[in-house]
């Protein structure tokens, strides 16, 4: 059979970035065509390929060797990454996809662009799958041509072209590729759509793939508009602490917008996504709670707390152990239990070693400009220090037992004068400092 003329797939590269490219290369038809297109196009930046070896098929080693030979023929450097696929309750296919994306993210260099071979038919399948899972506009937007990924970007240049176009290109250029037999397994949802549902739709609506992909593009536009509105609403309800929102201002938003803002807030803090019932739990248990109720909602090591007008989210941290204490002369940072530190800046050390310990209750402090001491509990309440921060607040005492400081949020009159006379500052870092790249 004589192959029909190859389509002008080269136009798919019209927005090729001026950055090094890394092709996710499985050895199948789609990624083979993509690699061939990129290798044949003029380029001024680097091009390489990464093959993820899942080890799930008896022919996995042979497939990797095929990729080695193809890349060698094209003059494209290839990296083979071995992964272990551990099913997580969402099925082997989802686990393999998660392992593959994690491998790509690890392999991608800063500023490099990961290039994947998803095409219009894949987009139509993804749209249908998400519609069948009752996704909203965000999910129905399906795959984007461009998005941030790891330390670089992800580019899908073939999304406007169908599988038939790729097949014609491969035949016209004599390319060889791997046919993964698992693609015929209709127990997998995507394969069932590909083998049974979409062919039936095309009988009635020949342009079904294109129209479904266009619907995904329209949802992507709606998603961008919604995202813009969410960002504005989030800015309106955020407090000086990005980990805390104003409950009053949040409750003033329409319920649908409030749900989106809560999800975007959690994403902006790089916390695990809210569970399916997360927004419902926050609405029912936290937003309308009394100011002194201190309710909490937990998931995956994360907690959302309500206190006064605040809704606070972050990783769960244990309080300072009640029996913790340490001598500290200020010459080097004092590491606190469970992370964080106290630090003296601007002075070599204290005149004498101080005693750091956890709160026991009943402490009093003589604040600057005050004639009498005050209960530390009331001072912290007046300063608006949330209960979960008070639990981790280290106290500093002199050798006679006078309270000098509660973290860096409350200083005694004498200690404040000592610091000012020396141009020094006490700093409390309640959480471990992030490591570079995190």
pLDDT at 129 over 80: yes
Does residue 351 have a known ligand-binding role?
no
Encoded tokens for 395: 């106290």
Encoded tokens for 275: 């569970």
Band (pLDDT 50/70/90 cuts) for residue 5 is: very low
CA atoms within 13 A on the CB side of 1: 5
Q: Which residues pair with 147 in a beta bridge?
A: 154
Q: Where are the alpha helices (DSSP H) in 41-110?
A: 60-74, 92-107
Does residue 241 have a known ligand-binding role?
no
Give percent above pLDDT 70 in the chain: 96
Does residue 27 have a known ligand-binding role?
yes
Q: For residue 66, which of 28, 37, 103, 40 has the smallest C-alpha distance?
A: 28
CA atoms within 13 A on the CB side of 59: 10
Q: What phi-psi label fits residue 108: left (phi over 0), alpha (psi between -120 and 50 degrees) or beta?
A: beta
Q: Which residues pair with 313 in a beta bridge?
A: 304
What number is the average pLDDT over the span 193-197? Answer: 93
Distance, in Å, from the CA atom of 395 to the CA atom of 307, rounded to the nearest integer, reads 23
Contact 425, 419 (CB under 8 A): yes
Rg value, the chain, Cα: 29
Domains of the chain: 9-206 (3.40.50.620), 238-315 (1.20.59.20), 325-429 (no CATH)
Band (pLDDT 50/70/90 cuts) for residue 89 is: low
What is the tens place of the pLDDT at every residue in 280-336?
Answer: 999 999 999 988 888 999 999 999 999 999 999 999 888 999 999 999 999 999 999
For the chain, the straight-line distance linking the first and the last C-alpha, in angstroms and rounded, comes to: 54
Contact 268, 233 (CB under 8 A): no
pTM of the predicted model as reported, rounded to 2 decimal places: 0.69
Helix (H) or strand (E) holding 190: helix 189-192
| Residue 313 CB neighbour total at 10 angstroms | 21
What number is the average pLDDT over the span 117-137? Answer: 92
Distance, in Å, from the CA atom of 48 to the CA atom of 62, rounded to the nearest integer, reads 20
pLDDT at 150 over 70: yes
DSSP state of 374: E
Distance, in Å, from the CA atom of 143 to the CA atom of 216, rounded to the nearest integer, reads 8
pLDDT of residue 3: 45
Does residue 437 have a known ligand-binding role?
no
Does residue 182 have a known ligand-binding role?
no
HEC per residue, 283-313: HHHHHCCCCCCCCEEEECCEEEEEECCEEEE
DSSP state of 12: G
What is the tens place of the pLDDT at every residue in 25-38?
Answer: 999 999 999 999 99
pLDDT of residue 11: 85
Does residue 301 have a known ligand-binding role?
no
pLDDT at 137 over 90: no
Distance, in Å, from the CA atom of 244 to the CA atom of 312, rounded to the nearest integer, reads 4
Q: What phi-psi label fits residue 379: left (phi over 0), alpha (psi between -120 and 50 degrees) or beta?
A: alpha
Encoded tokens for 183: 């693609």
What is the tens place of the pLDDT at every residue in 340-397?
Answer: 899 999 999 999 999 999 999 999 999 998 889 999 999 999 998 998 889 999 999 9
Higher pLDDT, 88 or 161: 161
Encoded tokens for 320: 């300072």
């Amino acid at each position: 059979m004589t192959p029909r003329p190859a389509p002008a797939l080269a136009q798919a590269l019209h927005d090729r970035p001026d950055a090094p490219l890394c092709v996710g290369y499985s050895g199948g038809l789609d990624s083979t065509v993509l690699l061939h297109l990129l290798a044949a196009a003029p380029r001024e930046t680097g091009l390489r390929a990464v093959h993820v070896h899942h080890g799930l098929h008896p022919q996995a080693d042979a497939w990797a060797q095929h990729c080695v030979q193809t890349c060698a023929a094209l003059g494209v450097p290839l990296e083979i990454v071995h992964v272990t696929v551990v099913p997580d309750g969402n099925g082997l296919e989802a686990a393999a996809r998660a392992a593959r994306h994690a491998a790509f993210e690890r392999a991608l260099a800063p500023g490099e662009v990961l290039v994947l071979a998803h095409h219009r038919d894949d987009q139509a399948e993804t749209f249908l799958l998400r519609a069948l899972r009752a996704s909203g506009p965000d999910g129905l937007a399906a795959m984007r041509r461009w998005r941030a990924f790891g330390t670089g970007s992800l580019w899908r240049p073939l999304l406007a072209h169908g599988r038939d176009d790729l097949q014609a290109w491969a035949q016209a250029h004599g390319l060889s590729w791997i046919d993964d037999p698992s693609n015929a397994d209709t127990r997998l949802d995507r394969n069932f759509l590909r083998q049974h549902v979409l062919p039936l739709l095309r009988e009635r609506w020949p342009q079904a793939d294109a129209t479904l992909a266009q619907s995904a593009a329209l949802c992507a536009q709606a998603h961008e508009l919604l995202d813009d509105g969410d960002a504005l609403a989030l800015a309106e309800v955020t407090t000086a602490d990005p980990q805390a929102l104003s409950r009053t201002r949040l409750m003033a938003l329409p319920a649908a917008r409030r749900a989106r803002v809560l999800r975007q807030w959690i994403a902006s803090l790089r916390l695990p996504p809210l569970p399916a019932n997360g927004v419902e739990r926050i609405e029912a248990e936290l937003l309308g709670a009394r100011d002194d109720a201190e309710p909490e909602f937990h998931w995956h090591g994360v907690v959302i707390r309500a206190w006064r007008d605040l809704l606070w989210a972050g990783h769960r941290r244990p309080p300072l152990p009640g029996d913790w204490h340490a001598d500290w002369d200020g010459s080097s940072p004092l590491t606190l239990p469970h992370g964080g530190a106290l630090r003296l800046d601007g002075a070599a050390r204290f005149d004498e070693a101080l005693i750091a310990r956890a709160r026991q209750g009943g402490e009093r402090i003589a604040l600057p400009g005050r004639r009498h001491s005050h209960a530390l509990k009331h001072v912290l309440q007046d300063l608006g220090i949330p209960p979960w921060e008070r639990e981790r607040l280290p106290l500093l005492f002199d050798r006679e037992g006078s309270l000098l400081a509660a973290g860096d949020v409350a200083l005694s009159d004498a200690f404040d004068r000592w610091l000012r006379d020396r141009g020094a500052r006490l700093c409390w870092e309640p959480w471990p400092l992030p490591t570079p790249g995190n």
